[in-house]
């Protein structure tokens, strides 16, 4: 008997169900004696032994379904090794559930935070296989994560729609795209949507440069400017503050989010009206795009193969178009940032996009 636990953790994204379907169909194509334990709402389900027994039937027809049939939750990583107010050591509780159910492997789908916990469980001796899920595409060790392209599609559609209304009025439009620490979604959606200015966490912006870019467009007879700004975009000035100073400054201003901050800085210094669009959680929603369905199905099937091989402690990743097994120890705790000197940034600049830095 092969006993597989499975959980999805962290912010949800598209293709979680598709990936799990790939794992289960993959294993069941080779083995008949499989038991699947679906833990509910992320690590919480593992901690409190809250699970459902699932069969391959449960994974039929969910390829195109957004969200996750297991539910998910965000887990406070830093508190895990310390007993909480009820005296519960959560790591011990997870190990206990794993061993009590006699699991052969735990399949974990998640992003950066999730992988830290996954690696910790691996260090504790559990058999772990992970799948790189995040719209942010910021996981170290893989060229691509599933959810990313779907989020890019939605953010681009937002910019597309704004474009038509922008051409009718004489305005500046700011679209806030998801990404607190990394700018991958904003960068790709910005290029794809034909944004004029793209502001990323990795390239601190200078308000003067942004205002100049807007005014130059106006002077050239263009009626509008479209700015794609990542949630974590930061000005050059603010990027030099300490974490504490920055937090104090932000609390004083109380902008609901970065788009409102950029808007205020710009509005004073251009003569154009500014309008804000915040697609928000839409970017995690809906059916996965075909690209993500293929990617997640492949990663899922590859995970099945790793499990059948008994090759644990690995994240399934993409490297140069191939599906590869990456040691969890190498992945955990590292982020994949946009490199300001990379080709894609250079090419984007060549097509006239300003990153607000020079």
310 is in an annotated binding site: no
Q: Does 340 bind a second copy (CB under 8 A)?
A: no
Q: Hunting for tokens 């679209």 — which residue is that?
A: 175
Q: Which of 323, 326, 328, 331 binds a second copy (CB under 8 A)?
A: 323
Active site residue 136: yes
The three state secondary structure string of 185-239 is HHHHHHHHHCCCEEEECCECECHHHHHHHHHHHHHCCCCCEEEEEECCCCEHHHH
178 is in an annotated binding site: yes
Q: Give residues 86-145 in contact with a second copy (rule: CB under 8 A).
A: 143
Instruction: State how far the Cα of 154 lies from the Cα of 159, in Å rounded to an integer.
Output: 9
Q: Which of 173, 184, 205, 355 binds a second copy (CB under 8 A)?
A: 173
Question: Residues 136, 138, 153, 196: which is the catalytic one?
Answer: 136
135 is in an annotated binding site: yes
Structure token pair of residue 254: 């109380």
Instruction: State how far the Cα of 296 lies from the Cα of 317, in Å rounded to an integer.
Output: 10
Q: Does 55 bind a second copy (CB under 8 A)?
A: no
The three state secondary structure string of 173-187 is EEEEECCCCCCHHHH
Choices 82-90, 95-103, 264-272, 287-295; region in contact with a second copy by CB under 8 A: 287-295
Q: Nearer to a second copy by C-beta: 15 or 126?
A: 15
Residue 307: CA count within 13 A, CB half-sphere: 33
40 is in an annotated binding site: no
Please state the closest distance from residue 123 (CB atom) to a second copy, in A: 28
Query: Binding mask 15-34 vs a second copy (x if CB under 8 A, - otherwise)?
Result: -x----xx--xx--xx----
Q: Which of 290, 311, 329, 333 binds a second copy (CB under 8 A)?
A: 290
Angle at alpha carbon of residue 191, lines to 132 and 12, rounded to 5°: 30
Angle at alpha carbon of residue 94, lines to 93 and 95, rounded to 5°: 90
339 is in an annotated binding site: no
Q: Annotated binding site: which residue ranges?
A: 11, 74-75, 111-114, 134-136, 171, 178-180, 231, 275, 281-284
Q: Which residues are annotated as a binding site for ATP?
A: 11, 74-75, 111-114
Active site residues: 136
């Amino acid at each position: 008997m092969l006993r597989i636990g499975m959980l999805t953790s962290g912010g949800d994204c598209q293709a979680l169900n598709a990936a799990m379907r790939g794992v289960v169909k993959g294993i069941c194509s080779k083995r008949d004696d499989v038991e699947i334990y679906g833990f509910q709402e992320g690590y919480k389900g593992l901690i409190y032994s809250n699970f459902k027994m699932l069969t391959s039937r449960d994974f039929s027809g969910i390829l195109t379904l957004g969200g996750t049939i297991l539910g998910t939750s965000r887990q406070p990583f830093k508190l895990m090794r310390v007993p909480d107010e009820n005296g519960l050591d959560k790591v011990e509780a997870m190990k206990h559930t794993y061993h009590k159910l006699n699991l052969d492997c735990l399949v974990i789908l998640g992003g950066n935070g999730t992988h830290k916990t996954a690696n910790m469980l691996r260090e504790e001796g559990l058999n772990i296989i992970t799948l790189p899920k995040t719209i942010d595409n910021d996981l170290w060790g893989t060229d691509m994560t599933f959810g990313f392209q779907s989020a890019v599609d939605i953010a681009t559609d937002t910019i597309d729609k704004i474009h038509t209304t922008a051409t009718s009025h004489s305005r500046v439009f700011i679209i806030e795209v998801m990404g607190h620490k990394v700018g991958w979604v904003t960068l790709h959606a910005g290029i794809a949507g034909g944004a004029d200015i793209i502001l990323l966490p990795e390239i601190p912006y200078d308000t003067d440069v942004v205002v100049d870019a807007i005014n130059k467009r106006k002077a050239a007879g263009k009626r509008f400017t479209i700015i794609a700004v990542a949630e974590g975009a930061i000005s050059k000035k603010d990027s030099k503050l300490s974490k504490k100073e920055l937090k104090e400054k932000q609390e004083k201003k109380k902008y609901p989010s970065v788009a409102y901050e950029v808007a205020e800085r710009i509005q004073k210094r251009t003569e154009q009206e500014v309008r804000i669009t915040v697609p928000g959680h839409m970017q995690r929603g809906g059916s996965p795009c075909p690209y993500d369905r293929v990617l997640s199905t492949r990663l899922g099937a590859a995970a099945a193969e790793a499990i059948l091989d008994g090759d644990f402690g690995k994240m399934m990743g993409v490297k140069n178009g191939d599906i590869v097994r990456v040691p969890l120890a190498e992945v955990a705790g590292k982020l994949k940032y946009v490199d300001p000197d990379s080709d894609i940034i250079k090419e984007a600049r060549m097509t006239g996009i300003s990153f607000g830095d020079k």
